[in-house]
Amino acid sequence: MRSSHAAGVYDLETRSGHYRVALVPQPESEIPGFHATIVQAVRSDTPGRAIRLTLFERDVPLPSPEDRDAA
């Protein structure tokens, strides 16, 4: 199961300003059983400062709607 976020560049407006956000899925993860996506956000009024993080999501299938644990 991959993230619902598609790779690419997105413009976001937040209470603290306008950001340009890039999502880059990684081909391999440092953590077994997870996949990784690099997220980098740059604020339009301070382009020299970027926020960068790695999002790790567990590689588990979603439960089917008939599954008792689906919520």
Task: State residue 46's pLDDT score.
Answer: 83
Instruction: For residue range 33-53, list pLDDT tens digits in order.
Output: 999 999 999 988 887 888 899
- What are the residue ranges spanned by the domains of the chain? 8-58
Closest CA to 61 of 31, 26, 35: 35
CA distance 19 to 62: 31
The side-by-side arrangement of strands in the sheet containing 8-14 is 8-14, 17-25, 34-43, 50-58
Q: 28: left (phi > 0), else alpha (psi -120 to 50), else beta? A: beta
Contact 56, 32 (CB under 8 A): no
- pTM above threshold 0.85: no
